[in-house]
Chains A and B, each alone.
Chain A
Amino acid sequence: MRLVMDTVEEEFVEIPIPIPSSTSSSSMAKRPCPSQNPRMELENLLYQFLSLSDRPSLSLDLSFENLLQSMPPDTDLIDRALKMGSLLLDAAKHSSRKRASNHNSIVWPLPPDLTFKIFSMLDTQSLCYVSAACSFFSKCAKDPLCYENLDLTTLVPKVNNAVVATMIQRAGKALRSLKLGVVPATACSPGFCQPMVSTIRKAIVEAPNFSWNDKRSRQGRESSVLTRCCLSPLSGDGGAPGALLRKLHLYNIERMDSTSLCGALSACPSLLDLEIVGIHVELRQTLMSVSANCHLIERLFFESSRTGRDDSLKAQTCSELVNNCPNLTSLSLRGFKLHDCKVRILVKGFRKLKYVDFSSSYSITGNFLRNLGNCNGGNLLEVLILRDCMHLKEMEVIRFLTAILAGDFKLLMHLDISNREGLACEADWYHSSNMPIKQVLEARPDMRLVAEYPSEGSYAETFDAEMNSDISLQFSSPTSDGSIFMSTSESSYNSDHGSGNEEGQDAVIYGESSDEDNNMNL
């Protein structure tokens, strides 16, 4: 070994110290003469070696090979070269990192706690992006406070179970709100143009207990679909993430079923706001799970994935829900088959109920509205939406409006009884001039009344598919004044329902058969 060192030293002695050339951008300044200190000697050697990089005709491999050939055959020079080369590489990387970190701490002078504060104001997607920008941000972005409100909704299926699990785990018991699923473009806010998962991947690939890469190599292909157990992390870790969860919004998760949803709900006793849209779950089972687990709930928004076909709701479920969830103030059940008697239990029973939306419901005729104004449950109503209820009877609506004129429902601010097919009644649908809409508008100027109906003017011969509702409702027709409305709303018009008298008659009489079932006084 001693022999080798001497040889190396001799080599160095022969090589002249390079003069910094004007073309070299990384030319090194001359160092002062080293002392006999061994550490300084090493640094000097290092300096001399690195100065070689300035040489235009440097061929390190050739020199090394020549050196090797001049050595005895049992020399370990190659191993040494590998070792030293590796050490030097590591040292350079380490120092580079250190300098970059120092630089970053100057350009970003905020301490971690202030950085958390800023990050906690970011939406989930931005949080993932910022986390990928540098390692300091990545550390800060792992603070649970940043994950308090998780919004993992996307335009198309992109987020999978693993992502959800990681986010929930990071939030831990700080989790307060979770939105998950696929929200179509029309409902989505602008700015969601970039795919989220690829950045999430980069951002969370350092997590030590996260088996993303393992999963990929096993399956050979990433799955970007949420499966039925995507919410099981809420129950994990002793139920900590779900324990304080207040808001849960789920959209269009194809593979979720009643069992898995009910399992998730059982982990969320503090839930205040539950929104379920387009999930293939049964109404009755879900409401039973809510009444069993989520006693604090204040808002329930449930939109069926199979409009009009879920007929599962039973009276007992309604009673249990009313008894177990007394804090409910907002109830929306859209697209289900609801019967007046059961609906009545709900609307009468919830003492604090203010907001009711039964749009696109089948079977309810409006019978449940009778005598509602003078009892506990109905009088507090502020918003009532019965849009596009297939079997809603004009007669019941008239009765209801009359009750309003008589002074009931004093707190009602917003009433929507629009129906793109017109209300069910005995005679022709366009005789809705019986409805005291004008009187109500005069008597209650504080109230917003939305009552859009197909107007008489939109007959088949003048109507075509491209016409939108704005145009059709401007037809002035002496007999029809059903198209008074306070707000200019959407309702894109279906040409099938805009045809003439005869078909109109057929369309409205279907409500008759369900009369007997609903003629119960509760």
Chain B
Amino acid sequence: MSKTVKDAIETIPTDEINSISLSLVRSEILTKVIEYCKKHNSAQMSDVDLMDWDVEFANVHYTTLFDLVLSANYMNINCLLDLVCGKIADMIKGKTPGEIAKLFDIKDVSTYEEDN
């Protein structure tokens, strides 16, 4: 599922693989990514159930979501990336600018002119 891992496996001769380094991914996030990949590869659940599971999976604090986005991007797992980006987009939808800034603790710098 992860294109990065797949590419790594393909480029390194098989008897030399001991470990594939994923230096940018923290261990707790990697755990979640592995959980996602296992679930989606198992093909035990129906599509509808899998969608419900995805919703539950993505129902985490947005800081975790950011980590997942960065990890999924690094590991090149497109379906996970779409899922988590979609979840963040859902968090933004329907909110006013002030609410969005408050949600993500973003400071407003737009009142000042741009530096050149």
Contact = CB atoms under 8 A, between A and B. Distances in A.
Contacts of A114: 69-70, 73, 85
Contact of B100 (A94, A97, A130): A130
B110 interface: yes
Interface stretch (B35-43, B52-60, B91-99): B91-99
A118 B88 contact: yes
B107 A100 contact: yes
B106 interface: yes
A93 B112 contact: yes
Interface in B68-116: 69-70, 73, 81, 85-86, 88-89, 92-98, 100-101, 104-110, 112, 114-115
Contacts of A129: 92, 95-97, 100
Contacts of B69: 110, 114
A132 B112 CA distance: 13
B79 to A, nearest CB: 13
B97 A133 contact: yes
A97 B112 contact: yes
Give the interface size bracket for B toward A. 20 to 34
Contacts of B66: 108-110
Contact of A132 (B85, B104, B110): B110
B75 to A, nearest CB: 13
Contacts of A107: 104-106
B107 A118 contact: no
B91 to A, nearest CB: 9
Contacts of B115: 94, 97
B73 to A, nearest CB: 6
Interface stretch (A119-127, A147-155, A467-475): A119-127
A104 B109 contact: yes
Contacts of A123: 93
Contact of B95 (A93, A121, A126): A126
Contact of B97 (A119, A121, A132, A206): A132
A117 B78 CA distance: 12
B92 A126 contact: yes
Contact of A133 (B86, B93, B108): B108
A103 B107 contact: yes
Contacts of A126: 89, 92-95
Contact of B110 (A121, A135, A194): A135
A202 B97 contact: yes
Contacts of A194: 96
A110 B101 contact: no
Interface residues of A, number: 32
A206 B113 CA distance: 9
Given A94-B115, A114-B69, A114-B73, A134 B108 contact: yes
B70 A135 contact: no
Nearest to A101: B109
Contacts of B70: 109-110, 114
B37 to A, nearest CB: 20
Contact of B107 (A117, A121, A130, A134): A134
A93 B111 CA distance: 11
Contacts of B101: 133-134
Contacts of B95: 126, 129
Nearest to A203: B97
A138 interface: yes
A134 B97 CA distance: 8
A123 B95 CA distance: 12
B36 to A, nearest CB: 18
A119 B86 CA distance: 9
A121 B106 contact: no
A232 interface: no
Contacts of B93: 122-123, 126
B92 A118 contact: yes
Contact of A108 (B73, B94, B106, B109): B106
Given A104-B107, A138-B110, A121 B85 contact: yes
Contacts of A109: 66, 70
Contacts of B89: 118-119, 121-122, 126
Contacts of A122: 89, 92-93
A123 B93 CA distance: 8
A118 B112 CA distance: 26
18 contacts: A100-B107, A103-B107, A104-B106, A104-B109, A118-B88, A118-B89, A122-B93, A126-B94, A129-B95, A129-B100, A132-B97, A133-B98, A133-B100, A133-B101, A133-B106, A134-B101, A134-B106, A199-B96
Interface of B: 66, 69-70, 73, 81, 85-86, 88-89, 92-98, 100-101, 104-110, 112, 114-115
Given A109-B70, A118-B89, 8 more contacts: A94-B115, A101-B109, A104-B106, A109-B66, A114-B70, A114-B85, A118-B88, A126-B92
